[in-house]
């Protein structure tokens, strides 16, 4: 205490600061210890719950269980987590059986309660559950959440809507797929694959004309997941008079994906484009759909100044079904340019390895 009333002001300040800091340290330690104790108790409760419910859910996969024990409000989150874990791990009939078990235990009500929780973790679990349960009554809530600014919340809600009714969800979601740059393309592609081309193709094709140019390259990439009947016409239209260079490469990818011989002339037009990534994409597309007429232009690209163009041209040549090993060997030997020979040798070696 002598320090706290020291005549020197600096010493007094330092002493009081040390005192305060010590108090803070003790308080933090208290928080850590209490939190760890609470957590241990919760973990013990969770383990007990899981010990009962894991076998029950596993059993319900074999035969529908009519009687299931009631779930206390403290165990709701654990049950949601466990149920979703099973649901995401399994496929086919198991989903129906899990849905039946969920119905017996009132999982939808638990999820609805969690949807109103403040905790983001609980909300996410609730959204995933409602989607997996195909809970149509939650449609409007999920639709609202799909517009939420949080990418994680909105994507999870979008996925839930697709699971509930993909046909109904698509017209509202496709514009978001194009515009929400914070939705990872891989996740969007997974959602479109889940919906299936029969459902996704129409809305994707329709929305192309209404999409702003800045979002167009992103949207065109998703057309690869459409069926050719819907996927090709908008791409062909765009390639007639491309509004911007950066939409050409994604369009060429779509043409390569469907490999329709009618598009050959459209692809060949871009083999000499000043932008290298467009030339590379055109070469890759010819690898999927090219004819004997394309061997010469592709061979010419083997000496392109850009490595990727040379590589894609070599891969395209090696992949052409009518060029066999002897033909490719002769083509390699005929090359006077070292870069052309090297890149063809690499593409051939890669093919052999595969």
Partner 1 sequence: MTLADVMGVVQVLFLAYFVLLNGGYVMLNLISMITLTRYMSEHSLTALPQAGTGLEPPISLLVPAFNEEATIAASVRSLLQLSYPEFEVIVVNDDSKDRTLDVLIREFSLRPFPEAYRVRLKTQAIRAVYQSTDHPNLRVLDKANGGKADALNAGANVARYPLLCCVDADSILQRDSLRRVVQPFLEDPRTVATGGTIRIANGCEVSGGFLVRAGLPRNLLALFQVIEYLRAFLFGRMGWSPLNALLIISGAFGLFHKETLISVGGYRPKTIGEDMELIVRLHRVLRQQGRKYRIVFVPDPVCWTQAPEDLRTLRNQRIRWQRGLSDSLMMNRALLFHRKGGAVGWLAFPFILVFEWFSPIVLVAGYAFTLTAVLTGLLSPPALLAFLAVEIGLGVLLSVSALLLEELSFRIYPKLSHVGLLFLASLLENFGYRQINSWWRLVGLYRWATGAQARWGEMKRKGL
- Residue 345's nearest CA partner among 322, 327, 329, 334 is 329
Within a 13 Å sphere around the CA of 122, how many CA atoms are in the beta-carbon half?
16
- DSSP label of 2: T
Q: Which residues of 78-99 are buried (b: 16+ CB within 10 A; e: fewer)?
A: bbbbbbbebbeeeeeeebebbb
* Least CB distance to partner 1 at residue 307 (A): 4
Cβ proximity to partner 1, 124 vs 278, nearer residue? 124
Residue 143, φ and ψ in degrees, nearest 5: -65, -40
* Least CB distance to partner 1 at residue 240 (A): 28
Site residues (vs partner 1, CB under 8 A): 2-3, 6, 8, 10-11, 14-15, 17-18, 21-22, 24-25, 28-29, 31-33, 35-37, 39-40, 81, 84-85, 88-89, 119-121, 124-125, 128, 150-152, 156, 181-182, 184-187, 189-190, 307, 310-311, 339, 342-343, 345-346, 349, 353-354
* Least CB distance to partner 1 at residue 269 (A): 27
* Least CB distance to partner 1 at residue 151 (A): 6
* Least CB distance to partner 1 at residue 157 (A): 12
User: What are the structure tokens assigned to 43, written together?
Assistant: 């973990």
Cβ proximity to partner 1, 125 vs 235, nearer residue? 125
Cβ proximity to partner 1, 150 vs 206, nearer residue? 150
* Least CB distance to partner 1 at residue 74 (A): 18
- DSSP label of 242: -
* Least CB distance to partner 1 at residue 67 (A): 28
User: What are the structure tokens assigned to 111, written together?
Assistant: 């999820």
Beta strands in the chain (DSSP E): none
User: What are the structure tokens assigned to 308, written together?
Assistant: 């990727």
Contact 76, 53 (CB under 8 A): no
* Least CB distance to partner 1 at residue 181 (A): 6
Contact 68, 104 (CB under 8 A): yes
Cβ proximity to partner 1, 8 vs 260, nearer residue? 8
* Least CB distance to partner 1 at residue 8 (A): 6
Helices (H), 209-275: 216-222, 228-240, 248-258, 264-268
Which secondary-structure segment (H or E) carries 208?
A: helix 197-208
Q: Round to whole Å and give the CA distance between 142 and 135.
A: 10
Cβ proximity to partner 1, 28 vs 48, nearer residue? 28
Using a CB cutoff of 8 Å and minimum separation of 24, what contacts does 270-275 make?
A: 271/297, 271/301, 273/245, 273/248, 275/245, 275/248
Which secondary-structure segment (H or E) carries 298?
A: helix 295-301
Cβ proximity to partner 1, 222 vs 270, nearer residue? 222
Looking up tokens 């194009």 gives 178
Cβ proximity to partner 1, 53 vs 311, nearer residue? 311
């Amino acid at each position: 205490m002598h320090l706290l009333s020291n005549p020197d002001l600096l010493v007094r300040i330092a002493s009081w600061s040390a005192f305060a800091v010590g108090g803070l340290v003790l308080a933090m330690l208290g928080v850590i210890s209490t939190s760890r104790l609470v957590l241990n108790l919760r973990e013990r409760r969770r383990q007990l719950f899981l010990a009962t419910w894991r076998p029950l859910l596993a059993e319900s996969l074999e035969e529908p269980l009519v009687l299931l024990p009631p779930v206390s409000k403290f165990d709701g989150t654990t049950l949601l987590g466990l149920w979703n874990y099973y649901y995401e791990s399994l496929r086919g009939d198991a989903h129906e059986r899990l849905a039946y078990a969920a119905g017996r235990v009132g999982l939808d009500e638990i999820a609805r309660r969690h949807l109103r929780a403040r905790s983001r973790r609980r909300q996410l679990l609730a959204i995933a559950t409602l989607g997996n349960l195909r809970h149509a009554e939650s449609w409007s809530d999920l639709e609202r959440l799909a517009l939420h600014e949080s990418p994680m919340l909105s994507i999870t809600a979008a996925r839930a809507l697709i699971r509930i009714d993909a046909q109904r969800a698509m017209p509202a979601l496709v514009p978001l797929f194009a515009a929400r740059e914070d939705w990872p393309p891989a996740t969007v592609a997974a959602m479109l694959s889940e919906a299936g081309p029969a459902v996704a193709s129409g809305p994707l094709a329709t929305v192309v004309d209404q999409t702003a140019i800045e979002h167009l390259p992103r949207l065109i990439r998703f057309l690869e997941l459409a069926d050719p009947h819907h996927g090709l016409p908008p791409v062909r239209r765009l390639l007639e008079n491309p509004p911007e260079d950066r939409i050409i490469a994604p369009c060429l990818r779509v043409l390569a994906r469907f490999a329709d011989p009618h598009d050959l002339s459209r692809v060949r037009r871009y083999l000499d484009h000043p932008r290298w990534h467009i030339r590379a994409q055109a070469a890759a597309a010819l690898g999927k759909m090219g004819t004997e007429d394309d061997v010469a232009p592709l061979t010419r690209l083997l000496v392109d100044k850009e490595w990727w163009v040379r590589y894609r041209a070599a891969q395209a040549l090696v992949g052409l079904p009518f060029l066999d090993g002897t033909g490719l060997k002769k083509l390699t030997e005929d090359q006077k340019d070292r870069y052309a020979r090297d890149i063809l040798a690499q593409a051939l070696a890669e093919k052999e390895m595969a």
